[in-house]
Structure 1
């Protein structure tokens, strides 16, 4: 999958969350919260079209943009990239890093234990 920048991911989140959107709807959704103008948002849309993360379709007399990349695939690619770049592709050092540098709540510890138990059971 082609790399989606942090700014581009804001556009993708809007499309993933609300379905096919027209450019003005995307501008309204992400422009104001990010203090981006219409031209900036349209530039991001065009980049995502070139990367084949979005596709444009005519619907009800308007051009709407639909995601070609699922959020699940995006998250999988980004998280695997993080693991590969920073932790040699291994999950245990990532968890150890977070456990060392931030306090885990008892709920988080319990959830991690349940997850490990689930994998130990072969699920």
Structure 2
């Protein structure tokens, strides 16, 4: 499995923008994140630099702006986080995790039907 860098929650918010809009330049990232966060442009630029240093992003310079592209896919990152969570908290046992959620959470009829369909589809 590819080595996936550890990124913070804030860096993950930056990555979500990159995954959705790549290739995307610094100004576009900043514009999108200043609408949804209270981060300053300097903070966003710092996070972009950190993500490049962690090998989560690469960039090219076009004219006077940096254009960012992810080095890892969102699917790869989420797969690694999902596996890590399952291993860490449920010893890799999917049934234990699902049982825990089902015991603690109230599911709507629609959610139960969706789960049954997912399990039925997986079985065929």
Fold shared by both chains (TM-score > 0.5):
yes
C-alpha separation in 2, matches of 1:38 and 1:55 = 19
Runs of 5+ consecutive residues of structure 1 not aligned to the other structure:
none
The yes-or-no answer on 1:74 pairing with 2:77 is yes
Q: SS at the partner of 1:104?
A: coil
Q: State how 1:1-123 maps to structure 2 within 5 Å.
A: 1-59=4-62, 61-121=64-124
* RMSD (Å) for aligned C-alpha atoms: 1.5
- 2: CA distance, partners of 1:101 / 1:112: 16
Following superposition, the deviation at residue 91 of structure 1 comes to 1.2
Displacement of 1:58 in angstroms is: 2.7
SS in 2 for 1:89: coil
Highest RCO, 1 vs 2 (Cα 8 Å, sep ≥ 6): 2
CA distance in 1 between counterparts of 2:116 and 2:81 reads: 24
Q: TM-score, normalised by structure 2?
A: 0.88
Partner SS, residue 56 of structure 1: strand
- How many aligned residue pairs are there? 121
- Which 4+ residue blocks in structure 1 deviate beyond 6 angstroms? none
The answer for unaligned runs of 5 or more in structure 2 is none
Provide the TM-score with structure 1 as the length reference: 0.89
